[in-house]
Amino acid sequence: MVQSLSLTEENYLKAIYHLSGSGTESVNTNSLAESMNTTPASVNDMMKKLSNKNLIGYKKYKGATLLPDGKNHALHVIRKHRLWEVFLVQKLHFKWDEVHEIAEQLEHIKSPILVERLDEFLGHPTIDPHGDPIPDSNGIIKEVIKAPLSELDPGLTGMLVNVSNDDPALLQYLDKLKISLGSKIMINERMNFDGSVSIKVDDMDDHFISKTTAECLLLTILDK
């Protein structure tokens, strides 16, 4: 029987999943406290609760690792979050910079049948509006080979498949540059001084973007 978890417990499992490289590494208390905007003492208390439920492995001063049931719970919450983002953008016509906070609330709805009906209604999408992969009902994620624009050599062209930061200010900035998922981006030049990058978008507009922005744009390389 699947354990019923509180909203806070689900948020902790999701945070551990993201901070641990998709559940593969240990996460220390301070990193979790910063992510959850709380104190290390509060994190320790929650880690004990999750450990007692056999959702995480936890050793004080060494951090937390997701156990199989904990990882499944985290992936289920992430699946709901990303499906709701698709619904909000595709069906209710929200912009991609408006949906994260709303999906944070909707992801805690418990009904499994609602989630599966939502998935079916949306046509079983595999990515959310920011290009993040949506786990299937078994928690399996179909990954795409991609690399940050900041790491690609001048002369290469790629297609934008993921924006790794859902900060509304970044997404609004990309809208102004007419950059969206599916955009074809050619790397013209990288500045050695500050890592900023000159790019051409969809064979039309040239832009300079900062290193910070380039690090958030994940591309798949296109054949020349």
pLDDT for residue 2: 57
pLDDT for residue 43: 92
Options 1.10.10.10, 2.60.40.10, 3.30.2010.30, 3.20.20.70; CATH for 7-66 is 1.10.10.10
CA distance 206 to 209: 10
Is the pLDDT score of 157 beyond 60?
yes
For CATH 1.10.10.10, list the domain ranges present in the chain. 7-66
pLDDT band at residue 21 using 50, 70 and 90 as cut-offs: confident
**Higher per-residue confidence, 131 vs 23:** 131
Q: Domain 147-221, CATH 3.10.129.10 — does that match?
A: no
Is the pLDDT score of 74 beyond 50?
yes
Q: For the chain, what is the mean pLDDT?
A: 93
4: alpha, beta or left, given left = phi > 0 and alpha = psi -120 to 50? Answer: beta
Is the pLDDT score of 60 beyond 90?
no
For CATH 2.30.30.90, list the domain ranges present in the chain. 147-221
Starting from the edge strand earliest in sequence, which strands make up the sheet with 217-221, in order? 147-148, 217-221, 157-163, 184-190, 197-201, 205-209
